[in-house]
Amino acid sequence: MQEDTDAPVPGEAQVKTQRWSVSLVWIVPVVALLIGASLVVRNWMQEGPVISITFKTGQGLEAHKTQVKYRNVVIGEVTAVELAADKKSVSAKVQLNKEAESFATRDSVFWVVRPRIGAGGVSGVDTLFSGNFIGADAGQSGERAKTFTGLESPPAITYGEQGKSFHLHARDLGSLDIGSPVYFRKIPVGQVVSYALDPQGKGVDIGIFVLAPNDAFVTQDTRFWNASGVDVAFGADGIKVNTQSLSSILIGGVAFGLPERSTVDQPAAEKASFELFADEQSALAPPDGLAQYFRLRFDESLRGLKPGAPVEFMGMEVGKVLSVQLDFDIKTRTFPVIVDAVLFPQRIGPAHQKMIDELKHVPSNQEATSRLLANFVEHGLRAQPRTGNLLTGQLYISLDFYPDAAKVDFDPSLRPFRLPTIPGSLDKLQDEVQKVIDKINKLPLESIASNLNGNLVEMRKGLKHFNDQTLPGVQATLDDLRKTLQSANTTLDEGSPQREQVSQTLRELERMSRSLRELSDYLSRHPESLLRGRPQNAESTNLQPRSSN
C-alpha cells in the first residue's frame, strides 16, 4: 500500500518540468533589452529642448558639426540647417543639453561667432582654427520659446554684466559705431550698444551701456559729448589740442561729465535720455535758456561771415549766426545783406537774472525782452561786424553800446527783432585811411619838391665854395701863424713863461688845423650831413680835435 502510494502518478513529473524549467539562452536577450531600455529612458530624460534659430545666411553652419557655446562651454549642437519657405533666410535646428534648458526662454539671444573687425577690436580669431560656432546668452524671462531670430553681430553686453543703459540723441552719428567706448575722466567705463534714426528722421538715437559701479556717476545733470577725433582750439593763449585716447581718434567715443557748479548728485534712472553734444565746451556750457531771434541789416560787404559765426555781447559769446542772405532795396537800388541770428540771454549770467528781477511785473518774456531792447537801443546798442581772424578773414557779430551813434527808431513789435547796425571796424579804418590820403593829395608836393631841389643846388654851391676857397684860406692863415709862433718860440729864452705859452698856442693851432682837415674830408664824403646832421654812429674823433699827451 505504501509503495503504491509513494509511486509517482504517470504524467505528473512532466507537468512540473514544463512549469519550472527555463532555458538559459533567453537570459542574455532579456538583460540586453532591459539595459537598452534604461539607456533610452536615460537619454530621453537627459535630452534638452529643441529650438529653431533663423539667420539671414547659413554661412559657417553645418549639421552635427557646428556647436552652441556659452562662455566657451558647449551647451548644444546644430542638428539640421534648412532653407526657409520664403527663401530669404535659413533655419538651424539646435538640440540643447538638459542643463541648458534656461536658454530656451523668450529673451535669449543667439549669434554666429566668426572672425570680425569692428570698433571694439578684432574678435572671433579662435574660429579660424576651430570653425564657426553659435554664441548664446540666456535671458531673464521665464517664458518658454522654441523659435528665435539670430543676431547678425554679437551683442555688446553679454553674460549678465551689471550696469545701466542710457539713451542719447544727436544730430548725426559722426564716427561712432557699436562698440565705441564711453569715457569718464578719460577712463573707459562703457560702450555704445546700438544706434538708429529717430522716428522723424531728424536725428539719431544712440544706446550706451555704462558698467557698474561707474554707472552711479551718471546723474540727472550729466552732460554727454562726442569725444571722437582731435579737438583743436585757437585762443589768445595759443593752440589747444585735446583728445580722450588714441582709440577715440581711430574708432570714436563718447565722454560724459558734470558742469563745474552742478549740485545735482541724484543718479540717473535706467534708460534715461540725454542730449549728445558735439564737443566738451558746448556740453559743459551754462544752459542756454529761452532763445531770442534777431534780424540785422548791413549796407556793406560781409565776406567772411558764415552761418555758425559767433554773436558776442561786450566780448561774451551769447549766440550765433543762422543765415546770411542778400536783399534788394528798391528805393536805393542797393543790395543790403540780411543776417539772421539767435541769442540766448541767459548766457550773460547774473546780469540776465537781475534784469528779469527788475521786470517781474511784465506779463511775458517776449514783452520783457522788447522793453529791454528798446531801452538798450536808445542808449546806443548796435550790431557791428568785426574781424575775428586776420589770417582767414572770418567775421563775427559784435553787440555793444555806442553812445555817439545816431538815434534810430526801434519797433519792438516786429518779429524777429530788428536791431540797428553800424559799419564794421575795417570799413571805418578804410575811411580814415582814405581821409589821410585825400589830405596828402591836397598838399603842393610838386612845388615843395622844386623848392627843395633848388635849396639842394644852392647848398652844393656853398659847400663847393667852402671846400675850394674858405678852407684853403683858413688853412694857409693857420700855417703862417704857426710859422710866426715857431720863430717867436726860438727867440724866447728856454724855460720862460712866454715860451711855454707860445708852445701851448702852437699845439692848439695844430689840433685846429687837423680838425679842419677832418671836417673837410667828412663833408666831402657826406654832404647830406648839412641837412640831416651828424649820425649817431659817426665817430666823435672825426669831428673833434684829438688831445695830445
Across 27-31, 75-79, 359-363, 543-547, which has the greatest mean pLDDT?
Answer: 75-79
Q: What confidence score (pLDDT) does residue 314 get?
A: 82
Backbone phi, then psi, for 62, in 5-degree steps?
-135, 135
DSSP string for residues in 1-58: -HHHHHSPPTTHHHHHHHHH---GGGHHHHHHHHHHHHHHHHHHHHEEEEEEEEES--
Distance in angstroms (rounded) separating the CA atoms of residues 328 and 512? 83
342 forms beta bridges with: 293, 320
Q: What confidence score (pLDDT) does residue 13 get?
A: 47
Q: What confidence score (pLDDT) does residue 409 get?
A: 83
What is the overall mean pLDDT for the chain? 77
Say if CB 251 and CB 186 are below 8 A apart: no
CA dihedral 219, 346, 342, 240 (to 10 degrees): -60
Q: What is the mean pLDDT of residues 350-364?
A: 67
Q: Is the entire prediction scored with pTM above 0.85?
A: no
3-state SS string for 287-338: CCCCCEEEEEEECCCCCCCCCCCEEEECCEEEEEEEEEEECCECCCCECCEE
Q: Above 80 in pLDDT, residue 429?
A: no
321: cell is 549766426
Domain residue ranges of the chain, discontinuous segments joined by +: 44-149, 163-283, 293-436, 448-542
What residues contact 350, with CB distance under 8 A and at least 6 apart?
none
pLDDT in tens, 87-104: 889 999 999 988 888 888
Backbone phi, then psi, for 277, in 5-degree steps?
-80, 165
331-364 CB burial, b ≥16 within 10 A, e <16: eeeeebbebebbbbbbbbeeebeeeeeeeeeeee
pLDDT in tens, 282-319: 888 776 777 888 899 998 888 888 898 999 888 888 88
Q: What is the DSSP letter of 151?
A: B
Q: What confidence score (pLDDT) does residue 80 get?
A: 93
Say if CB 413 and CB 406 are below 8 A apart: no
pLDDT in tens, 144-153: 899 999 988 7
Q: Is the peptide bond before 213 cis (omega within 30 degrees of 0)?
A: yes
Q: What confidence score (pLDDT) does residue 464 get?
A: 67
Q: Above 60 in pLDDT, residue 124?
A: no
What residues contact 422, with CB distance under 8 A and at least 6 apart?
382, 383, 384, 402, 405
Q: Above 80 in pLDDT, residue 195?
A: yes
22: cell is 527555463
